[in-house]
Amino acid sequence: MKNIITTIKKPLLVLALLISTSMFSFGQDNNSYKVSLKEMMDASGSAESYKVAIIQTIKMLKSQKSTVPESFWQEFEATFIKSAQEDLFELLLPIYQKHITEAEVKDITKFYHTPTGKKFAEKTPFILQDSMAAGQQWGMKLGEQLAKKMQEKGY
């Protein structure tokens, strides 16, 4: 009986060692990817854009809840911005890992350190803002066309 237990323990020990080694290795790769992705987001201005979006969302909520004291909003913003950015990053991490290798993330980061990349990062919020306005105009036009077509069909 003791021989059987010893025989079973050895393969289990080897299996446990292999699993823990592969998990440790994945953890290192994942941590390396995280560092690279954070650097890319900083260089591209994405991290700052997320912060601005969070602040704008808080301002919108603040205008809807005008009876809440300013001190609450200041405290909420100070604590929420950091945690919200970290939460968003953790949600985005597997998406980036699914579509972009770490080597590609590093190449993209190199681009953002070039003069053209820096300009693109600087102008992206304005491009997005103008694109959103154009998208709203396009959506309104599409809505008008849909309403007209529905009216023509008697709906």
- Per-domain boundaries in the chain: 2-44+83-113
| Alpha carbons 102 and 109: distance in angstroms, whole number | 10
pLDDT digits (tens, 9 = 90+) for 44-100: 988 888 888 888 888 888 899 889 999 999 888 888 887 888 898 999 999 999 999
Residue 1 — very low, low, confident or very high, per pLDDT cuts 50/70/90?
low
| Alpha carbons 124 and 128: distance in angstroms, whole number | 6
Residue 21 has pLDDT above 50, yes or no: no
- C-beta of residue 34 within 8 angstroms of C-beta of residue 93: yes
Residue length of the chain? 155
| Alpha carbons 21 and 63: distance in angstroms, whole number | 52
Q: How much is the average pLDDT of 26-43?
A: 83
Query: 45 in the Ramachandran plot: left (φ > 0), alpha (ψ -120 to 50) or beta?
Result: left
Two tokens, residue 31? 């941590």
pLDDT digits (tens, 9 = 90+) for 120-147: 999 988 888 888 889 889 999 999 999 9
Two tokens, residue 86? 């970290």
Q: How much is the average pLDDT of 107-132?
A: 92
Which residue is listed with tokens 């602040």? 55
Please tell me the predicted confidence (pLDDT) of residue 152.
92
Q: Which residues contact 80 (CB under 8 A, 6 or more apart)?
A: 54, 58
- C-beta of residue 113 within 8 angstroms of C-beta of residue 43: yes
How large is the C-alpha radius of gyration of the chain?
25
- C-beta of residue 58 within 8 angstroms of C-beta of residue 77: yes
- C-beta of residue 43 within 8 angstroms of C-beta of residue 21: no
